[in-house]
Chains A and B, each alone.
Chain A
Amino acid sequence: MHIIWKSTRRLSLAWLIATFVYTTVLFFSINYSSKNSLVLYPIQPFIFGSEPVDLFFSLFTTIPFVWPIYFLRKDNFLEYVSMRIKLNKYLVFQTLASLALCFVMVLLVNYSGFLFSLRMANISTGVQGPTLTGYILGEMQLLDPLKFGLLWSFYKAVIGLLICSLGIIFAYYVKNLFLMFLAPFALIFLENFITGVTGLARFSFTTTYVLNRLSPSAMLPKNLLVGLSTFIGLTIITQRVLVHHER
Chain B
Amino acid sequence: MNGKIIKSKVINLFLANKALLALNFCVLCFVAGSARATAITYHLGLFDYALLVLVDHYYVLYCLLPIMLVIITKHLRSLSDIEKIRYRNTNQMMRIEILSFTVWFTFYLFSSLLIVLLIGLPTFKPNVFAGNFGGSSHNEILLLLGEYAAFSKIPIISILVALLYYGFGFTTLTAILSLINNKKGSRESVSAAVVILVLTFIGFHTSLSEKLPNLFLSNYIIFHRGLFINGLPSFLLTVLTGLGLILFALGYRPPTIARNSLLGELTISRKMKQITFLFISGLILIEYFQLVYEGNSNIRDLAIRFLLGTNTDFQSFIGWIKICLIYFSPLFFVGISISKIKQYQELPIFMRFESIANLQWSIIRQYAAFVLQYAGFIAVFLTTLFLFGKNSSPMSVALYESFGIQLTIPHFIGNILVFIITMLFNLALFLMISQVANETVAFIGLISLSFVNLLVPGIHLFEINPGILMFLETIQQGVAWLLIKVALLLSISFGFLFLVRRRIHANH
Contacts and interface: CB of A to CB of B under 8 A. Distances in A.
A178 B439 contact: yes
B451 A186 contact: no
Contact of B318 (A56, A63, A177, A196): A196
Contacts of A55: 451
B325 interface: yes
B207 to A, nearest CB: 19
Contacts of A193: 318, 321-322, 325
Interface residues of A, number: 21
B321 A179 contact: no
A182 B321 contact: no
Contact of B343 (A59, A175, A197): A175
B318 A178 contact: no
A181 interface: yes
A176 interface: yes
Contacts of B317: 196
A178 B455 contact: no
Given A186-B332, A193-B321, A176 B340 contact: yes
B384 interface: no
B321 A176 contact: no
A189 interface: yes
Nearest to A63: B440
A179 B336 contact: yes
Interface string A62-86: 0100000000000000000000000
Nearest to A74: B343
Given A59-B444, A178-B443, A182-B335, A189 B321 contact: yes
Given A192-B321, A193-B325, A176 B339 contact: yes
Interface in A181-230: 181-182, 186, 189-190, 192-194, 196-198
Contacts of A233: none
Contacts, number: 49
Contacts of B340: 176
Contact of B440 (A178, A189, A196, A197): A178
B290 A197 contact: yes
Nearest to B290: A197
B286 interface: yes
Contacts of B443: 178, 182
B338 interface: yes
Interface string B432-451: 00000001100110001001
A190 B325 CA distance: 8
A177 B290 contact: no
Contacts of A176: 336, 339-340, 343
Interface string B315-341: 001100110010000001001101110
B241 to A, nearest CB: 21
A13 B455 CA distance: 31
Contact of A52 (B318, B343, B444, B451): B451
A182 B343 contact: no
15 contacts: A55-B451, A56-B448, A176-B339, A177-B339, A177-B342, A177-B343, A178-B338, A178-B339, A178-B439, A179-B339, A182-B332, A189-B325, A196-B318, A197-B318, A198-B286
Interface of A: 52, 55-56, 59, 63, 175-179, 181-182, 186, 189-190, 192-194, 196-198
